[in-house]
Structure 1
Amino acid sequence: MDLAEDALNWNSAVRNYWSLLSPLIFSDHPKRPGDEDPSPPFNMLRNVLDMNARLGGFYAALLNAGKSVWVINVVPTSGPNYVSLIIDMGFISARLKSIFIPET
């Protein structure tokens, strides 16, 4: 999948995801709230961990849609290493190895 195709897929998906997640996302809250700002409700989120970021398209689509959500992009070691591409776009990224502990 190339970058343009990934962007098209995620732009479409964000429209659907946002309608499902918007009751749970506190996106209007400032990044650094002051003393006079309200605390986010306990059931709200504004930080997202994308555990299979691939090209970072999910976060790019959120930004294109004007959504104020902080995302860390995780690229699994089991696939292609796109960390440098994601970082070049100005996004935060990490490459992690999945840990599987078998039951005994």
Structure 2
Amino acid sequence: MSIATKQLISHHVLEDPASGQAVDARVGDCVQLVFRRRLGASRWRVAQRPSYLVPIEDDGHVFSFLVFGSAELASSGDTVRMERQRSGRPDSVEVRLLDVAVTA
């Protein structure tokens, strides 16, 4: 006899998120950040992330993370720091700070 369990995975998609935007996610959820493409060759990068967010996609404009671990390991309000670097302008960096809280 086998016992089947069904676990629902939620996908949290933040399109062109503003700095300070927050998302609540459960362990096992997917968090996706989508940034608009702009004129020029600028690209976004993950400068800082909590250890419980495991990167599964990174193409410079779309970033996906799996919320991993346990809710006890993740403190509420951990920050993801995204930086956009513009080609030809190394001193010009745009920063977005996003709060990711893990809920039970």
TM over 0.5: no
Quick check: which one's helix share is greater?
A: 1
When normalised by structure 2's length, the TM-score is: 0.30
When normalised by structure 1's length, the TM-score is: 0.30
- Greater relative contact order: 1 or 2 (C-alpha under 8 angstroms, separation 6 or more)? 2
